[in-house]
């Protein structure tokens, strides 16, 4: 079976650390799709959704920190989009937890779109800026990312 969210060059923002994080998010969406496909119970789906929300928070924090460090001009807008995207996942978590919604394939397409659209539209827009501003060198000094992880 081919993967639900297939990684391709079209999703690469050209910065390895960020691509790796996007791949983790894609894998979580794929795991959820697989769980539904195999008809695992809602507990499995809930756990993956929790992981997705947690990792999304970390990933957004990394991108936003880079934007602040590098003075990315569109920081405020990008941060607002992140808040909206995270809220979608939190809403989904609440709906699933309360039993109002079962995650089906329709919601999976929502999540696929939720991830790939943001990467290809908003994230891609910082690619050149980040590369020219030395984002890769910043990311190599991982101490500040580790602080984010442990906070
Ligand atoms: Fe991203
Ligand atoms: Fe982003």
Is residue 141 in a domain? yes
The tens digit of pLDDT for each residue in 56-79 reads 999 999 999 999 999 999 999 999
Query: In this structure, is residue 9 part of a structural domain?
Result: no
Q: In three state form, how does the secondary structure of 51-110 look?
A: HHHHHHHHHHHHHHHHHHHCCCCCHHHHHHHHHHHHHHHHHHHHHHHCCCCCCCHHHHHH
111 in a structural domain: yes
Residue 55: inside a domain: yes
* 74 part of a folded domain: yes
Domain count, the chain: 1
| Assigned domain for 36 exists | yes
Q: Would the pTM of this model clear 0.85, i.e. be above it?
A: yes
- pLDDT of 145 higher than 80: no
Ligand that comes closest to the CA of residue 75: 2
Q: What CATH number does the domain containing 97 carry?
A: 1.20.120.50
6 part of a folded domain = no
pLDDT of the residue at 48? 93
Q: Is the pLDDT confidence value at 144 over 70?
A: no
Domain carrying residue 45: 15-150
Q: How far is the CA of 78 from the centre of ligand 2 (A)?
A: 6
pLDDT tens across 101-125, in order?
778 888 899 999 999 999 999 999 9
For residue 3, being part of any structural domain is answered with no
- Report angle CA 13, 137, 126 to the nearest 5 degrees: 30
* Distance from Cα 118 to the centre of ligand 2, integer Å: 6
Span 17-27, average pLDDT: 96
């Amino acid at each position: 079976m081919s993967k639900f969210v297939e990684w391709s060059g079209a999703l690469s923002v050209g910065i390895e650390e960020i691509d790796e994080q996007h791949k983790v998010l894609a894998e979580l969406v794929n795991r959820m799709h697989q769980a539904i496909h195999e008809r695992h119970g809602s507990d499995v789906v809930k756990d993956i959704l929790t992981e997705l929300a947690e990792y999304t928070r970390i990933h957004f924090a990394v991108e936003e920190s880079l934007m602040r460090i590098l003075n990315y001009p569109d920081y405020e807008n990008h941060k607002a989009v992140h808040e909206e995207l995270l809220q979608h996942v939190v809403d989904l978590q609440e709906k699933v937890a309360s039993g109002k919604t079962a995650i089906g394939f329709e919601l999976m397409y929502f999540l696929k779109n939720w991830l790939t659209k943001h990467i290809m539209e908003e994230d891609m827009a910082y690619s050149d800026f980040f590369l020219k501003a030395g984002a890769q060198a910043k990311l190599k000094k991982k101490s500040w990312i580790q602080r984010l992880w442990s906070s």
